[in-house]
Structure 1
Amino acid sequence: MVCINMEYKAFVVSEDDSGSYLGGIKTLNIQDLPAGDVLIKVECSSLNFKDALSFSGNKGVTRKFPHTPGIDAAGEVVSCATDDFKAGQKVLVVGYDLGMNTSGGFGEYISVPAKWVMPMPVAMSAHQSMAWGTAGFTAALCIDKLLMAGAKKEQGPVLVSGASGGVGSIAIMLLVKLGFEVHALTSKTADKEYFKQLGVSEIVSRAEFLKSSAKPMLKPIYGSAIDVAGGDVLATMLKMIKPGGSVACCGLVASIELQTTVLPFILRGINLLGVDSVELPLNVKQDMWLKMASDWSLPALLDQCQLIAKQQLADTLQSMLNGNIKGRYVLDHNLAG
């Protein structure tokens, strides 16, 4: 338990008598936060699909309710029981159990283990760090894995699924910055201007893409790919990767299932790369965040980001579940509803 007696506001998801899950603003006490080494006053959090799943009552993400989601948090240290951080220091918490079964960044305060906390990169503000958030961090990890597997722009275009979402949109921006040609796989084919702003060279209709998915092999078009969907999308991607190319897999928006054959692997020597952004060692996370703040910085990212207040969380999370949002959304606790 935290030994400070002070009230704060949080977006809390609760289960009602009918088994439905509802989210709303509640007044809580800091003393009710879980025991943790570091008490942080949260300035910003970002909205990720996992937050939307928690909001929906998905027990695979959050086991017990009432609960405060928010798997990312950027803010300032209030107190620290170890020598790792000082009061007033700007810090980030991204991943681990935050916002899943530990009260998360949709509350104005969090209490977490010191091993989850990292210093805010000097070149980043709270808003900038949360514009990236877990989604951007995941996108960066995907691209890093592709590069380590030998991806080169000369091999051909990179296909990115979920292209209008958080991971997809940031992956596109970063790939374009690095000189790759990017094709966007999306159901939102009418958003041509949006994808043009991101730097997309070609928009691929998800419906058309999946029409040929029953075939065991398809024409090799893409040098690499990033997939957030799983299921038939990932299975079809694997059949269209050029020899020696790779697919970085980081999500399950469509399905946790993957039905495929060994043919793309043994006939074209392709690689399927799994990407975990949650339980990485803290030093690995820190190195990538420093890279995101320097060599891989995206000055235009804030332009693609919408700031919202706590009172807008329920509607925005529901829109995310319905697949009706694009780009990044950042919760600013200082914004009035």
Structure 2
Amino acid sequence: MFKALVVRKAEDGAISQAVEELDDAMLPDGDVTVKVDYSTLNYKDGLCMHGKGGLVRAFPHVPGVDFAGVVEQSADPRYRPGDRVILTGWRVGEVWWGGYASRAKVKADWLVKLPDAISTRQAMAVGTAGLTSMLAVIALEKAGLKPDQGEVVVTGAAGGVGSVAVAILARLGYRVAAVTGRPETEDYLRDLGAETIIPRGELAEPTAKPLESERFAAGIDAVGGDMLMRVLKQVKYNGSVAAIGLAAGAAVPSFTVVPFLLRGVNLLGIDSVMRPHDQRVEAWSRLAADLPMDKLEAMVSEHGLAEMPGLGASILKGGVKGRIVVNPQL
């Protein structure tokens, strides 16, 4: 038996969530069985728990798009009982049962061995959000970004992805400008390493200008919508913006190609769901080296499975700060 948060859909379409004890025979087919130590709360988890976004195809369902834990059984020679592993992406928690459970069964190809320097709790304090942030930083570096080129702006900076991005960039020596709509998070963001705090209102409204004054060397955008366009218009010549989220929506009504044509700005799309294994290993190795774990701990709160539906509703409204670690034993 194992404990899980189970999402069910009634005949009338109503969605419910409850912590249940399930038989191991209900686990999906897979190569590796993992004792889940921790999972996290992501925006997608909020959608899956509340039946939004069309992500969940079949019910009952166990959400949780990432988890870290210890291998219990493996039919794949790459993993042995006792190995510490992490899983992010691959539609786990969406079309495959996920990490909001004390046990999970998955395909071996989806797993990554955890670096020795990171505990399973720290791994989930990082989670999908932190992995995405690290992939964005790596992409910006490969596009030529260096710390001496100027400010790097991070939008949605107080959220899970933005918080980790701020901490990583500051640790690497970048000057970070953090955009937030919550004034009460200013001290939190400065503690993570942000040098400048930009109120969301300064970038939230669209402008008819095809270009604005050059300000940022680069950007990491978790918001999308018109804010992404405002950032692109303010990036310096040959700078880059890594797009990692769409909290404000997928459409960019004020879109213009002018920043790309006149300033050579690059828009880098960051996907962590289907990222190849070798790139995941690189990113986790970089996280072990470049993410200040003391800063990481400052942004973490730990919660049990029963709290997830309420917190999932909150994250959909932009009401979650930092990283929420899910302990399935609570």
Which residue does the alignment assign to 2:141? 147
TM-score norm. by structure 2 comes to 0.96
Give the superposition deviation at 1:211.
3.3
Counterpart CA distance in 2 for 1:212 and 1:255 is 14
> Secondary structure in 2 aligned to 1:225?
strand
Aligned residues: 329
CA contact (8 A) 2:33 2:72 kept: yes
2:273 to 273, 278, 287: 278
Give the superposition deviation at 1:210.
2.5
> Secondary structure in 2 aligned to 1:172?
helix
Q: Which moved more, 1:89-98 or 1:201-210?
A: 201-210
Encode CA deviations 1:88-138: one digit per residue, 9 max, x unaligned.
221111111211111100011111111111212111111010010000000
Counterpart CA distance in 2 for 1:208 and 1:281 is 37
**1:231–1:211 Cα change, 3 Å:** closer
What letter corresponds to residue 299 of structure 1 in structure 2?
Answer: D
CA contact (8 A) 1:55 1:317 kept: yes
**1:104–1:334 Cα change, 3 Å:** same
Q: Are 2:153 and 1:133 aligned?
A: no
Counterpart CA distance in 1 for 2:290 and 2:250 is 33
CA contact (8 A) 1:189 1:204 kept: no
Q: Are 2:318 and 1:323 aligned?
A: yes
What letter corresponds to residue 318 of structure 1 in structure 2?
Answer: A
2:174 to 169, 180, 187: 180
2:299 to 286, 304, 314: 304
Give the superposition deviation at 1:41.
1.0
1:289 to 280, 284, 291: 284
1:313 to 308, 311, 316: 308
> Secondary structure in 1 aligned to 2:278?
helix
1:32 to 21, 26, 29: 26
Give the superposition deviation at 1:18.
4.2
CA contact (8 A) 1:14 1:22 kept: yes
What letter corresponds to residue 26 of structure 1 in structure 2?
Answer: E
Which residue does the alignment assign to 1:63? 57
Give the superposition deviation at 1:212.
4.9
1:193 to 187, 190, 208: 187
TM-score norm. by structure 1 comes to 0.94
Encode CA deviations 1:265-314: one digit per residue, 9 max, x unaligned.
11111100011111111121112112211244533202210011112111
CA contact (8 A) 1:291 1:297 kept: no
Sequence identity (%): 39
Give the superposition deviation at 1:250.
1.1
Q: What is the RMSD computed on CA atoms of the aligned residues?
A: 1.4
